[in-house]
Structure 1
Amino acid sequence: MAIEFNASDRATLGVEWELQLIDVHTRHLRQEAQQVLGALPDLSEASASPPLRHELMQCTVEVVTGICETVEEVTSDLGGTIGRLQEILEPRQLAPICAGTHPLDDWRDQTLSPVQRYGELIDQMQWLARRILTFGVHVHVGIRSREKAVPIVNALANYLPHFLALTASSPFWSGHDTGLASSRSIIFGALPTAGPPPRLRDWPTFEEYMETLIRAGTISSIKEVWWDVRPHPDFGTIEIRMFDGIPTLREVGMAAALSQSLVRLFDQQLDRGYGLPSPPTWVVNDNKWRATRYGLDARVITDEHGSTVPLRDDVYELLRELEPVAERLGCAEDLDVAWEVLDKGASYERQRTIIDQGGTLNDVVDALAAEFRFGGIAPRPRRTADRGGTEPDSTGDDAGREPSLKSTKST
């Protein structure tokens, strides 16, 4: 099965940002996406790639950029569309927020979007799809050839915990604290073709694998493969789908900068004849779980012998290694927002702090609305107890750890 890959000649960017529509008085989700999109026909119906789109639930709208060259273009594109969206929402007493889940609401109270492919998904997946009251951010980065796609996907799998922990924002599910940094990762990851990408050898192996899934009836097209990182042949991109719902435009810019910098670095290393890291499947799966549970307080596995290091330390190292790449791409300031997240707390930490200080889940929703509207990351006061917990130390030896971006010269 030959799959055409529409390669990009640059590390272009595209971002999809799934937003919740909440009632400003009750804080609950409102099922009004159809009415909202209908009020903005020039943004939702005028082209084959509209910037505002339906998602699975009527309480959701997705904001999508065009093809962008820089992170600055991404945030400008998203900001312009959101400005138009808010003009429609405010008279309706609606507000947009974003987190991986809504802290209060139950999936059983939601209305499905009137889109045929979503109805088909529900028919096929049943309860697994009906409960996907989750919200995320997807970042596309252009690559120059299909031969680079699989090696870069394999290498990015090493950074699933970094992507997730920096953006984890779904500690609450249906009004309860799950004890996880990201419940969205569990809910969406339950779909049969979701989760970490399998470690494949090359593009022909990817084509063969897709052909096998279609022949078996597992999928009807490759668009039904929802890996955490996947090649997107139609766009000529690598799509990173690991991010939780992100509350602020500045943090979306951070996710885009991190994605573009890593993909550009790996692309250049391949040009220079280096082999990229390709962690074992068990390491990728285990590390994703650790970030799902503990967020930035996880310890991640660094080799096949089970050595571990604190994820925070690994993120620090990653940011330092990417600084020169980000400078060349013009997104160094956007990448620097990650330092602010490490200092003030990721969203799951900021949300839990509100509860620990005596607030309610209504207060959490209000804080998410304020962060979205004003774009700031509220400081995270120190607290004596963390319901999310810190991952217990392991017997892994940090001294045996290899550099996180180490590549090996091909022979």
Structure 2
Amino acid sequence: MLDPFASSEPFTIGVELEVQIVNRHDYTLTKAATELLNEVKKYDFAGSIKPETTEGMIELSTGICSGFEQARAELQVLRDTLVRAADFLNVGVCGGGTNFFQNWYEQRSDGRERSEYLMKLYGAIYQQFTIFGQHVHVGAPDADSALVLLHSLSRYVPHFIALAASSPYVQGSDTQFQCARLNSVAPFPLSGHAPFMTTWAEFERYFDRMTGTGLVKSLKDFYWDIRPSPGFGTIEVRVMDTPLRVEWAAAIAAYVQTVARYLLIDQPIRLSESDYEVYRTNRFMACRYGLDGTCVNAETGRSATIRDDILATLDAIAGHAAPLGAQEGLDIIRRTVSADMSDATWLRRLHAEHKSLHEVARQSCEVWRGLRMPN
């Protein structure tokens, strides 16, 4: 049975970042999560630093944030705390959606009961799930509104993927994707988009049917791109790679937040199950080409580049920025999109210059610490 949908302040946000723990020799993932978690207990900070899937990963989570400035500030403190602990243990930390060098078959569970269960259930698919994403929770006024928001935001999934794309390299090779991380999510049988339901009563009946089959035990067993989180009173957008900088992660969260307010208050979209007819193609184009990909408007059938669609959306949502304190974050989005300085593009430019993925990884660790990205 589903938890009741909790009360939350509409349009507040929470940001989660899954980050890489690497050794400082060849920048492969290293087993240091438990030691890092013990070390960060010495410090006070808002939010949390938690284990995630394997010993080469850690999750940073903000508390409930009103907007961009608070999210950025909390993420910066979480980052600095983790970096301080990593320096003490002589390991590195970085963002990015994939580790350049890790071999999936070397990955092991972190020993937690759920991780052991998933490893046994999914086998090699779960081992390949050592990937790193940004999740953004957005507060909803009530359960039905949460589902309306979930399906409305699905049209913007290509935007979110392209903005955060930072996973072009897998196992030492250029995949030709801007976001290769989501290729590791697709094989899960309960991945993709949520079923088209716009009332919580419908969703509760669906969940009861699914738990009755034994296929799922909780909402966490659905690897949907966007899913409801009734315990928090939010919907959770899950398609983004972890950005290389926490400041960029906060800007993306501000964009998600402002689009959400625009969708629920202005109600510019007429929802239809047919929206999902172009969903997989739009999602693929964002993963493959990033901002240069094309996406099809499900309602009009018109195509545009994802870059142009984001810029047009920034104009449409401008009136919602001030109530959320999101303007600085949206300005960062506009500048970055206009200049084509996505994380995936930066990683490839750096590799072209140095001809070494190890150097790219080294500089990614430096950028994560808050240093300016070299041009």
Give the Cα separation in 2 of the matches to 1:368 and 1:2.
40
The structure whose Rg is larger is 1
2:21 paired residue number: 21
2:288 paired residue number: 293
Quickly say closer, same or farther: Cα 1:43–1:136, change in 2 above 3 A. farther
SS at match of 1:39: helix
Shift of 1:64: 0.9
Give the Cα separation in 1 of the matches to 2:242 and 2:263.
26
SS at match of 1:19: strand
2:330 alignment partner, one of 330, 335, 338: 335
* Structural mapping, 1:1-400, within 5 Å: 3-41=3-41, 51-269=48-266, 276-278=270-272, 280-303=275-298, 306-342=301-337, 343-379=339-375
SS at match of 1:152: helix
Please say if residues 13 and 138 of structure 2, whose CA atoms lie closer than 8 Å, have aligned partners that are also in contact: yes
Quick one: which amino acid aligns to residue 356 of structure 1?
Answer: A
Alignment size in residue pairs? 373
Quick one: which amino acid aligns to residue 286 of structure 2?
Answer: A
Please say if residues 18 and 135 of structure 1, whose CA atoms lie closer than 8 Å, have aligned partners that are also in contact: yes
Please say if residues 180 and 287 of structure 2, whose CA atoms lie closer than 8 Å, have aligned partners that are also in contact: yes
Shift of 1:260: 1.0
Give the Cα separation in 1 of the matches to 2:88 and 2:345.
32
Post-superposition CA distance 1:255-303 (Å, at most 9, x none): 1101111111222235xxx764445212111100111111111111113
Please say if residues 138 and 239 of structure 1, whose CA atoms lie closer than 8 Å, have aligned partners that are also in contact: yes
Please say if residues 80 and 369 of structure 2, whose CA atoms lie closer than 8 Å, have aligned partners that are also in contact: no
1:393 paired residue number: none
Quickly say closer, same or farther: Cα 1:42–1:5, change in 2 above 3 A. farther
Identity of matched residues, %: 27
Give the Cα separation in 2 of the matches to 1:338 and 1:297.
15
Give the Cα separation in 2 of the matches to 1:28 and 1:3.
39
Shift of 1:70: 2.0
Please say if residues 138 and 236 of structure 2, whose CA atoms lie closer than 8 Å, have aligned partners that are also in contact: yes
Quickly say closer, same or farther: Cα 1:146–1:43, change in 2 above 3 A. farther
SS at match of 1:35: helix
Structure 2 residue runs without a partner (length 5+): none
Shift of 1:101: 0.1
Please say if residues 249 and 375 of structure 1, whose CA atoms lie closer than 8 Å, have aligned partners that are also in contact: no
Quick one: which amino acid aligns to residue 293 of structure 2?
Answer: A
Please say if residues 58 and 112 of structure 1, whose CA atoms lie closer than 8 Å, have aligned partners that are also in contact: yes
Please say if residues 13 and 140 of structure 1, whose CA atoms lie closer than 8 Å, have aligned partners that are also in contact: yes
Give the Cα separation in 2 of the matches to 1:125 and 1:2.
24
Give the Cα separation in 2 of the matches to 1:121 and 1:153.
26
Quick one: which amino acid aligns to residue 166 of structure 2?
Answer: S
Give the Cα separation in 2 of the matches to 1:200 and 1:170.
32
Give the Cα separation in 2 of the matches to 1:289 and 1:209.
27
Structure 1 residue runs without a partner (length 5+): 380-411
Give the Cα separation in 2 of the matches to 1:254 and 1:322.
14
Shift of 1:307: 3.2
Please say if residues 8 and 141 of structure 2, whose CA atoms lie closer than 8 Å, have aligned partners that are also in contact: yes
Give the Cα separation in 1 of the matches to 2:11 and 2:225.
19
SS at match of 1:352: helix
Please say if residues 97 and 372 of structure 1, whose CA atoms lie closer than 8 Å, have aligned partners that are also in contact: yes
Shift of 1:358: 4.5
Quickly say closer, same or farther: Cα 1:18–1:31, change in 2 above 3 A. same
SS at match of 1:52: strand
Please say if residues 158 and 286 of structure 2, whose CA atoms lie closer than 8 Å, have aligned partners that are also in contact: yes
After TM superposition, the score normalised by the length of structure 1 is: 0.85
